[in-house]
Amino acid sequence: MPVFLLYNNKKLTDMKKKYLIGLLTLVLSGSLTLGIQAQEKKSGVEKAGQAIGKTADKVGKKTAEVAVKGASKVTDKVYEGKMAPDGTDVYINSKNNKYYVNKKGKKVYLKASQIRNRPAAKK
């Protein structure tokens, strides 16, 4: 029998009514408590974990960038007097493809129109 019919039934005793009201109050307070816990702010440990993860990601990207640039300087030629769109060195590989190394350590191949002249150094 549904709860609303039990509540309206005149044959229920006071004890059953009190039990039913207490049970409904307990269920409602429990659902409110769970809703409040879901909206809590992150603790210091969780924030520190995220900060460590971001820092590790930055360090990994910088390490990859330095490693690829070092390997490129050894194996490929630097295109003198030219620069990539972001201002970094342009490298020429053995197949005469021009590329630069981005911040994530990836080789980005360039079209001829993307290569710019490097401004002369001021004396």
What is the per-residue pLDDT for 36?
56
Question: In whole angstroms, what is the distance from residue 119 CA to residue 72 CA?
Answer: 23
The reported pTM is 0.57
pLDDT tens digit string along 3-47?
555 555 555 566 677 777 777 777 767 666 665 555 556 666 677
Separation CA 4–CA 90 (nearest Å) = 77
Q: pLDDT value at position 20?
A: 74
Task: Please tell me the predicted confidence (pLDDT) of residue 2.
Answer: 54
pLDDT, tens digit, 9 for 90 and up, residues 72-116: 889 999 999 999 999 999 999 999 999 999 998 999 999 999 999
Structure confidence at residue 106 (pLDDT):
92
81 within 8 A of 117, measured Cβ to Cβ: yes
CA distances from 20 to 10, 23, 27, 34, 90 (A): 14, 5, 11, 21, 78
Predicted local distance difference test score (pLDDT) of residue 91: 95
Picking from 62, 69, 102, 105, the residue whose alpha carbon sits closest to that of residue 86 is 102
